[in-house]
Each structure stands twice: as structure tokens, then as C-alpha cells.
Amino acid sequence: MEVNREEALRALAIAQKHRAATNYPSALKFARKSVALYSTPEGEAMVTIIERDIKIADAGSSAPAGSAGESKGKASGVEEHVTEAHARPGHGKAQAAGAGEKKREYTPKQIEVVKRVKACKHHEYYEILSVEKSCSENDVKKAYKKLALALHPDKNGAPGADEAFKMVSKAFQVLSDTNLRAAFDSNPSYDPTQRNPGPSGGGMSGMRGGGMHPGFGGGYQQEVNPEDIFNMFFGGGGANGGFGGGSPFGGANVFSFGGPGIRIHQTAPRRPRQAADAAEATPLTALLPILLVLAFSLLTILPGLFSPTRSPDPAFSFDASTRLAEGRETWNWKVPYFVNKAEWEGSEVWGSVPEARKGAGSEALYSSRVRQFEKNVEGHYVRRLQNECEAFNDRRRVRIQDNSGFFGFGADYEKIKELRAMKSPACQQLRTWGIGQGSIY
């Protein structure tokens, strides 16, 4: 079983490299091979994301000769596609049918998860994630990862999966933030993400995009895009995330045009049933979204040509020193590191965090600069662990050879068995994170 896991991680690393080179067919082949060898959350999520990449690429290449139905989606600037659920042998299948639209397949288990989540009220965050009120932050993360993979709209074709996915993301946003969770626990009948709390109303209107926008009950609060949270958990990190150049879950969902200016968030793909009533577009109106994006990009880039260059990120170290004595840890993997307090508080990275969110321990949720900085910290830490793991394996290999005798004569088999049973903390930590010894982070 452990051999299969190692092979699965190697296949996942190869898939990462192929995806970084936009070789999507090969990337999907190795991602599916990884899941077949040893199913992991990272492998399942990677298959989903690569399939979405392929559909986006196919839609882009066929846009000029698209059919009338495709033109309807393009006219509104929203891309249409249908993703089939990953059916496995032995699973019963149902079909979600709609008049005049493509059918999406789903399993009984998938619709069961959707119904359970939607049976909860929108503000019953503990019930949505199926965790106790005394649960730890790690319990919240585990519950989110399990439900997000099961409910992601590109993987689950059951009716209502999109809304259930947003409910899970909203519940995670509240329960993973120390301040929001404390506010919710003190008054569960109100939405804690509102600036001026009021009765929590209907719908997930606040989850459609990032930035400051209305919340549940008319408040004005910063929301987090469900796709941002999903990608950050599985290596995407929003607009700046990814496993270096080879992430399987790169930041394709959030596009920032620099500075504090306009940000365009790509939300969940529009379903055919939502686009069925859209008016048929002419070639000119089909080009309007592209022209608008180009215009916004130009307006955002021009001021940057005359603005001062961005200051470098603050220095950090994994070992405390006289200069770097302020201890911190990354939000995602809890990697400890040290910075200079004055340099950190005066940096643009810390300055990008809203004042109300500073010190809560979840700044990465509200600042792409912090996410980018912490992904860099985690990348250095992963490479450090990989070096330690490689050195450990080399030393163990030499010692095993020294005790193997001459063609087996004089071998100390007890010592060899003891050496092979030795475990490296660095290697074990890499396995916990689903990263192979030679993987690119």
C-alpha cells in the first residue's frame, strides 16, 4: 500500500509539471493514474481542476465558430460548460434532467451530501460542517476539505451542489476566523460577517465574489470567494498561489490587474439551464466582454507605469535570531518562521491586511499579498525538508551497505532491519502534506 502511495505521489508530481507546461492531456493522464494507484484529496482535486482547465481551453479555441447556444453564454461574458461526475465501478447513478439541456450525471452518495447540507439553515455553520461547537481549527479544516471535494460544482452534478458548496465555504470562513467565530457563538441568530448585524436573511448573495460587498442581511462586509478558499486549500493560493510553476491547482480563478484597483473574480461556471434564456448574441456583442477586460486592464496598468516599484518582502528565517525574533506561522500549514517586528509591521505585505483582520491569525484569507508571502515561506520550508529527507536517505543507504558484508557474507541483518525501520521526521512531514521528495513546490 505504501509503495502505491509513493508511485501515486510521483505520478502527481509529473502531472504538475505537465499542467505547468499547459500539456493538459498528459497532465490528466498522470493525475488519473495517481488516483488509481492511491486516492488522495490532492489527486481527486487535481483531476477536477485539470478537467476544468481542458474545458476552458476547448471553449476558448472554439469560440469563433461556436453554436447559437454557446453564443448565449459568451454574450454575457460567462463561460458555459458541463462537467460529468467521476463515476466509479459499482456506484449507482442518477441523472439530473432538464428540458432542452445536457444531462449531468451524479451518484446517490453525491445527492445525499447535497441534501444533508441544504437541510441546514444558512447560519447553522456547525451543522453544515458536521462538527461540534468545541471543535478545533484543525477539525474545521478537515471537515471543509472533505465536503468541498464532495460538493465542488465541477465534480458533483447533483441539483443544488453549487449552493451547498457555497454554504460550506461560508461556514468555513466564519468558523476558521477567531473573531467571526466568537461573534457567532455569542449570538448564533445573526450573521457575524456583517458590519452592522441584522437578522440573517436568505441566500448566499454575498458569496459571489471577493472584495467589499453586501452580505446576508444588508450589511457591508468583506467576503471570500468560495473558489479562492478551495484553491488555497489544494495549493492554488488565489491569484498568486500554486506549487511554483507546477501547481496542480493554480490560481486560475482570481485575476488581479495590479495595485488596489479592479479585481475580476471568476465564479462558479454557469450551467446550461441558467444560460438557456439568454438572448442570442451577435459577433460584436460576443466580443464586448473581451474589449471590456482589455480596457480595464489598460486603465489599471497605465498608472502602474508611473508609480514607484513595489518594495521587497520582509526577510524571514526558520530560526530565531537577535534581528529576526518575532515569531509567526503560516495560516495553511502552520509552518513557524521569524521576522523583524518593525520591518514586518512597516511592510506592504502587512499593510495589505484590513485593520479589522490584523492579529486574528487568518490574515491570509483577506490579503493576496499575505497568501503570496506565506506560500513563499512554505516553499522554502518544503525545500529544506526535502534536503533533510534526501540527506537522511543517503546516510541510511551508506550504513546499510556497510552492514551488508561481502556478497552477503558477514552481513548484520538485524542492524540492516533496524536501519530500514528508521523514520525521518522530514520525510514523514512531506508525506503528510502529500509532497514527494523530488516534487516541485
- The rounded percent of the chain whose pLDDT value lies above 90 is 11
For 193-213, write each residue's pLDDT tens digit: 775 544 444 444 344 444 443
Query: 283 and 138: one domain?
Result: yes
The answer to whether position 266 is within a domain reads yes
- Averaged over 299-313, what is the pLDDT? 70
Asked if residue 193 lies in contact with residue 174, where contact means CB atoms within 8 angstroms, the answer is: yes
Query: 100 and 243: one domain?
Result: yes
CA distance 416 to 421: 9
Q: Say which residues have a Cβ less than 8 Å from residue 435's Cβ, sequence separation at least 6.
A: 9, 382, 386, 441
Closest by CA to 329, choosing from 292, 288, 282, 361, is 361
Query: 157 and 271: one domain?
Result: yes
**Burial class of 211 by CB neighbour count within 10 A (0 to 12, 13 to 18, 19+):** exposed
Domain region containing 294: 66-303
Query: 343 and 404: one domain?
Result: yes
Query: 89 and 214: one domain?
Result: yes
Last residue of a domain, one of 254, 271, 303: 303
Closest by CA to 357, choosing from 221, 172, 167, 169, is 221
The answer to whether position 72 is within a domain reads yes
Instruction: For residue 398, count other CB atoms closer than 10 A to its CB.
Output: 11
Give me the helix-helix angle, 283-306 and 68-75, nearest 10°: 30
- Averaged over 134-147, what is the pLDDT? 90
Task: Please identify which residue in the block is written with the cell numbers 520525510.
Answer: 427
| Beta strand spans in 354-430 (E) | none
CA atoms within 13 A on the CB side of 10: 7
pLDDT of residue 126: 92
The answer to whether position 340 is within a domain reads yes
Q: Phi and psi dihedrals of 263, rounded to 5?
A: -125, 135
Q: Say which residues have a Cβ less than 8 Å from residue 6's Cβ, sequence separation at least 6.
A: 436
The answer to whether position 412 is within a domain reads yes
The answer to whether position 90 is within a domain reads yes
Query: What is the residue-wise DSSP string for 205-242?
Result: GGGSSSSEEE-TTS-EEE---HHHHHHHHTT--GGG-S
- Total residues found in the chain within this entry: 441
Copy the grid coordinates of residue 133.
461547537
Query: 178 and 285: one domain?
Result: yes
| pLDDT of 272 strictly over 70 | no
Residue 44 CA, chain-centre distance (Å), reads 12
Q: Say which residues have a Cβ less than 8 Å from residue 308's Cβ, sequence separation at least 6.
A: none
Which is more confident, 202 or 183?
A: 183
Asked if residue 333 lies in contact with residue 433, where contact means CB atoms within 8 angstroms, the answer is: yes
The answer to whether position 15 is within a domain reads no
Q: Phi and psi dihedrals of 244, rounded to 5?
A: 60, -125
**439 pLDDT tier (thresholds 50, 70, 90):** low
The answer to whether position 204 is within a domain reads yes
pTM equals 0.39
CA distance 417 to 153: 48
| pLDDT of 315 strictly over 90 | yes
Contacts 24+ apart (CB under 8 A), 406-414: none
User: From residue 206, how far is each of 148, 222, 224 by CA, in Å?
Assistant: 18, 9, 9
DSSP label at 354? -
Query: 297 and 362: one domain?
Result: no
Copy the grid coordinates of residue 378.
512554505
- Averaged over 223-246, what is the pLDDT? 56
DSSP label at 356? G
CA distance 335 to 381: 8
Query: 334 and 297: one domain?
Result: no
Query: 277 and 370: one domain?
Result: no
The answer to whether position 222 is within a domain reads yes
The chain-wide mean pLDDT, for the chain, equals 73
Which is more confident, 63 or 121?
A: 121
Closest by CA to 45, choosing from 160, 146, 173, is 146
Report how many domains make up the chain: 2
**254 pLDDT tier (thresholds 50, 70, 90):** very low
Task: Please identify which residue in the block is written with the cell numbers 522530514.
Answer: 426
DSSP, collapsed to helix, strand or coil, labels residue 302 as helix
Last residue of a domain, one of 303, 326, 354: 303
User: Residue 177's domain is classified under what CATH number?
Assistant: 1.10.287.110
For 51-106, write each residue's pLDDT tens digit: 888 888 877 665 554 444 444 444 333 333 434 444 444 444 444 444 444 567 88
Query: 110 and 163: one domain?
Result: yes
Query: 291 and 416: one domain?
Result: no
Last residue of a domain, one of 303, 337, 353: 303
Query: 273 and 372: one domain?
Result: no
